[in-house]
Amino acid sequence: MDTILQGIKEGFYLILQMDAEIIEVTVLSLQVSLTALILSALIGIPAGAASALKKFPGKKLLLNIVYTLMGLPPVLAGLLVYLLLTYRGPLGQYELLFTPAAMVIAQVLLATPIIWGLTARAVMALEQNVYDTAATLGASRRQAAFTLVREARMGIIAALTTAFGRVIAEVGAVMLVGGNIRWATRVLTTSIVLETRMGNFSTALALGMILLMISFLINLMIIMLEKRTFRYDNTIQIT
Amino acid sequence: MMKLRGKKSTLIMALLAIFMLTAVIGCGGQQEESAAPDNQAAPELKPLKLATTTSTDDSGLLDYLLPEFQKDTNYQVEVIAVGTGQAIEMGEAGDVDVLLVHSRAAEDKFVADGFGVDRRDVMYNDFLIIGPAEDPAGIKGTTDALAAFKAIADKKAAFVSRGDDSGTHKKELTVWQKAEVEPAGEWYIEAGQGMGDTFMMANEKKAYTLIDRATYLALKDKYQLETMVEGDEALFNPYGVIPLNPEKFPNRDFEGATAFAEWLTSEKGQKMIGEFGVEEFGQALFIPDAK
Amino acid sequence: MTIPFKLHNIVKRYQEREVLSIERLEIPAGEINAILGPNGSGKTTLLRIMALLLVNDEGRLEVLGEKVNWSKGQILRLRRQMSMVTQTSYMFQGSVYYNVAYGLRQRKVSESGIKRSVKEALEMVGMSAYQEADARTLSGGERQKAAIARALVLKPQVLFLDEPTSNIDMASAAEIEKHILAINQNWGTTIIMVTHNLFQAKRLADEVIFLHEGHLIEKGRAETVFDQPRDERTAAFLRGETVY
């Protein structure tokens, strides 16, 4: 218990000092994870909505696969991307291994099933009435799809925050495909591993605290963005 | 349809977009991205990918040598520290330019199979057997590593192995072999982790373990294990530097890899290696032995 | 075009059970039609097929003078000339304004045009005060009035109503009935209404359609059919007996 408290105290000091390496590592973590989140959302939200709304053979199987991939172990995702990007691998010629781009790719692999699966669930939870209303008011199929996604936004926002939490906190994927190279592909989580390995527990704790703070702030931003675009509160009132 | 209200949210969106773009722009080549504080009027830096072991990286030797190397040659070395097995794999896959590892048998095979060329000796450090103060196997102070291992096995005293095909692990297995003991049983714990983590685990379990001097000196103040056995030649740990074969891997920077190997084995490099650790620990962590 | 709806041999099945089977039904333009019948008689199914929300399994359907081939383009075009109000109208998340403006936005009407039309529509139903209110906080009667405004603002040729006043207070119900009459009289909108309320049907309808177990058993002018039903089942239904 002592070590933890001691570590937390030293951690705060380190944060206040704002050393260049800690800033670099924090910024890179955000860049990689936010980029991955946005790309995954661009793929996952339409895919989720389409999976929920369209009828096609193998629909149940596909969704089952997506739900399973929601739990894809990060280190496995990292290994798969690594094998893709290695020099002898299918995408080797692009020399993406050990770059932030590779880290983004691996995290997209992790985040997309989450956003896809939860969006599909959120849209499937809507009632037929929602579509009927949109349709009878003259919405085209595409417009109705947008409307359904809009009406399911609470579930979709949950999907985004879940996916973000997953990728900002994972270490297996970014360690493998990034290589934890100092000043280049080192992020908060891989730094925590390194510092722990070297026995620098207070630094490791400091990095951990920064990670949590960032997570908190980003989620706050997502919620505020939601409040700005949709002024109306939809929570159930209980008395 | 979704309407973004207010200029504030547009501003936030814009900031986010800019933030994101810097990642994308920086993600191709690392030099522009590099925020290393030493880069004032930086001349064109060339990247060089080095695969090495976690114990080498953790010792701090590279943090000490590489800035000097960069000054002399303008090569910015990107260190990827993994287990020996993975480092060699990365070399065979052609994902790095040069290896710095300590596993002679694996190194020779690497060159014999044509993956690497011009292997050079660089330095050696040694391993120690460390263990709990209680010393259940009664080996403290002996200089015979083989006998010590035998005693540990006989007494079934807890022993934590790297278990990860690393240089340290291979060394450990060689000693078991020479001592004619097959380590197995509940007392023999295969961690599958790096040296620092293994040290931590051995400390927790009050067990013996084999550790390189550099890591031991760097971490010993954090843990309670003590030196049991040292100095036996069987515990010496030589390092080799191997550039990747340019014929097999034309995409790799053979010139840079050679520059690195030559620098390490040059008088200046060897001198720096011999000085590393003296100030902090009173003894050198590595003995330069380039031929 | 005087006959907006022509149904020939329309059949709809739900898991092998026939829920609707109508040999022939024609609905002329400009009248108020009420569809009556016991539960399970297929009223809502019929309504949804005519509103192009449900595809018939067999038969030929003509809507607004076109033979329906269920192609995307045709459906969209036809739907945009009709609209619907259901028993518990779903309000989209947002303000009443957003909801009433919805149909116009899908049709890419200019924002200034939308503003004007929404204001008018809300005035018509007496809901101007609620324009910026959260649509989810409306009472039953208010919500149905908003739904009417939302449907009206589109100036549809046909307006479908599925038990629009079943769940609301008498005062609002009376107001809504007034609006329905006004729409029909002022704009000539064809109105097709499913209702359980015989009195409402008597008050509003020009033509009445009776369904029983998916079949059309009677159709006639409101003045006569209630007093002189031709089918025994209709008579039993009107007497309030359960009809099997």
Q: State how far the Cα of A177 lies from the Cα of B95, in Å rounded to an integer.
A: 11
In contact, B49 and A151? CB cutoff 8 Å: no
Neighbours of chain C (3+ CB pairs under 8 A): A
Smallest CA–CA distance, residue C84 to chain A, in Å, is 6
CATH number of A7-229: 1.10.3720.10
Q: Which residue among C72, C83, C88 sits closest to A137, beta carbon to beta carbon? A: C83
- CB–CB contact A35 B20 (8 Å): yes
Chain C residues touching chain A at CB-CB below 8 Å: 48, 51, 53, 72, 76, 79-80, 82-84, 86, 88-90, 92-95, 102-103, 106-107, 134, 136, 150-151, 154, 160
Q: Does the domain spanning B126-236 belong to CATH 3.40.190.10?
A: yes
Q: Per-residue confidence at B19, pLDDT binned at 50, 70, 90?
A: low
The count of other CB atoms within 10 Å of the CB of residue C169 is 14
The gap between the terminal CA atoms of chain B, to the nearest Å, is 74
pLDDT at B27: 42
Q: How many domains does chain C have?
A: 1
C183 assigned to some structural domain:
yes
C116 assigned to some structural domain:
yes
Residue B73 has pLDDT above 60, yes or no: yes
- Give me the amino acid identity at B43: P
On average, the pLDDT of chain A sits at: 89
Q: Whole-model pTM above 0.90? A: no
User: What are the φ and ψ backbone dihedral angles of B187, each rounded to 5 degrees?
Assistant: -75, -20
Residue C13 has pLDDT above 80, yes or no: yes
Residue A36 or residue C2, greater confidence: A36
Average pLDDT of the segment spanning A32-37: 95
The tokens describing A157, both together, are 């926002």
Smallest CA–CA distance, residue A232 to chain C, in Å, is 6
pLDDT at B200: 85
Average pLDDT of the segment spanning B218-237: 87
Q: State how far the Cα of C24 lies from the Cα of C8, in Å rounded to an integer.
A: 5
The count of other CB atoms within 10 Å of the CB of residue A11 is 20
Residue with tokens 């240089």: B167
Smallest CA–CA distance, residue B40 to chain A, in Å, is 15
Residue in chain A lying closest to C107 (CA): A138
In contact, B272 and B122? CB cutoff 8 Å: no
ipTM of the complex: 0.89
Neighbours of chain A (3+ CB pairs under 8 A): B, C
Domain boundary assignment for chain A: 7-229
Task: Look at the domain B43-124+238-288 and name its fold.
Answer: D-Maltodextrin-Binding Protein; domain 2 (3.40.190)
| Chain C residues with beta carbon closer than 8 angstroms to that of A129 | 86, 88, 90
CATH code, domain carrying C104: 3.40.50.300
| Chain A residues with beta carbon closer than 8 angstroms to that of C102 | 134, 137, 139, 147
Which residue range forms the structural domain that includes residue C190? 5-239
On average, the pLDDT of chain B sits at: 85
C226 assigned to some structural domain:
yes
Residue in chain A lying closest to B16 (CA): A34
Domain boundary assignment for chain B: 43-124+238-288, 126-236
In contact, C47 and C194? CB cutoff 8 Å: yes
Q: State how far the Cα of A117 lies from the Cα of A33, in Å rounded to an integer.
A: 19
What DSSP letter does each residue of chain B carry, written as one string? Answer: -----HHHHHHHHHHHHHHHHHHHHHTS-HHHH---TT-SS----EEEEEEEEHHHHHHTHHHHHHHHHHHHH-EEEEEEEE-HHHHHHHHHHT--SEEEE--HHHHHHHHHTTSB---EEEEEEEEEEEE-TT-TT--TT---HHHHHHHHHHHT--EEE--SS-HHHHHHHHHHHHTT----STTEEE--S-HHHHHHHHHHHT-EEEEEHHHHHHHGGGS--EEEE---GGGEEEEEEEEB-TTT-TTS-HHHHHHHHHHHHSHHHHHHHHHTTHHHHSS-SSEE---
pLDDT at A219: 84
pLDDT digits (tens, 9 = 90+) for C123-135: 999 999 999 999 9
How many A/B residue pairs have CB atoms within 8 Å? 102
Residue B34 has pLDDT above 60, yes or no: no
pLDDT at A201: 79
Residue with tokens 């058993």: C217
